[in-house]
């Protein structure tokens, strides 16, 4: 099966942003471990790994805009909505548990990890619905 041009662009963009993420994450960790920066530079270095992740959201948004097949676009939108609902629900529940002193504090970036996990759940939901409609 041949990839549509917009999927090829998405894959290429995602590869670039994830490569930049790996470089920024490893670089920031090494920098803080061996010669920790201070002042405003420390904030800049600490935020560097977040920038490519922000880029991933832009890449996904561009795919949704460029997608020519409206049915596939709807599946991607539904998958993203499931991911968003999942990540926000778990983060909200955790926040209340944390607020009442029942669980330890967790780093905020885990919400993004939950969102990407939610994309997987959304993909499974889409596959299940596709399977049910064909049966």
Find where tokens 């499974």 sit.
Answer: 124
Q: Where are the alpha helices (DSSP H) in 67-109?
A: 70-99
The full set of domain ranges for the chain reads 1-68, 69-135
Mean pLDDT, the chain, rounded, equals 96
How far does the chain reach from its first CA to its final CA, in angstroms?
23
**What pLDDT does 79 receive?**
97
**What pLDDT does 1 receive?**
65
CA distance 6 to 68: 8
**Residues 60 and 73 sit within 8 Å (Cβ to Cβ):** no
Cα four-point dihedral sign 56, 62, 68, 74: positive
Segment 99-110 shows an average pLDDT of 96
Q: What pTM value is reported for the model? A: 0.88
Segment 61-85 shows an average pLDDT of 96
């Amino acid at each position: 099966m041949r990839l549509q041009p917009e999927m090829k662009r998405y894959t290429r963009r995602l590869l670039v942003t994830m490569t930049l993420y790996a470089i920024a994450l490893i670089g920031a960790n090494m920098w803080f471990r061996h010669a920790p920066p201070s002042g405003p530079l420390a904030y800049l270095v600490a935020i560097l790994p977040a920038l490519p992740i922000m880029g991933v959201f832009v890449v996904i948004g561009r795919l949704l805009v460029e997608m020519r097949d409206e049915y596939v676009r709807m599946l991607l939108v539904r998958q993203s909505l499931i991911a968003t609902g999942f990540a926000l629900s778990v983060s909200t529940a955790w926040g209340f548990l944390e607020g009442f002193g029942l669980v330890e504090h967790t780093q905020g970036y885990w919400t993004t990890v939950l969102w990407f996990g939610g994309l997987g759940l959304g993909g499974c939901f889409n596959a299940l619905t596709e399977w049910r409609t064909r049966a």
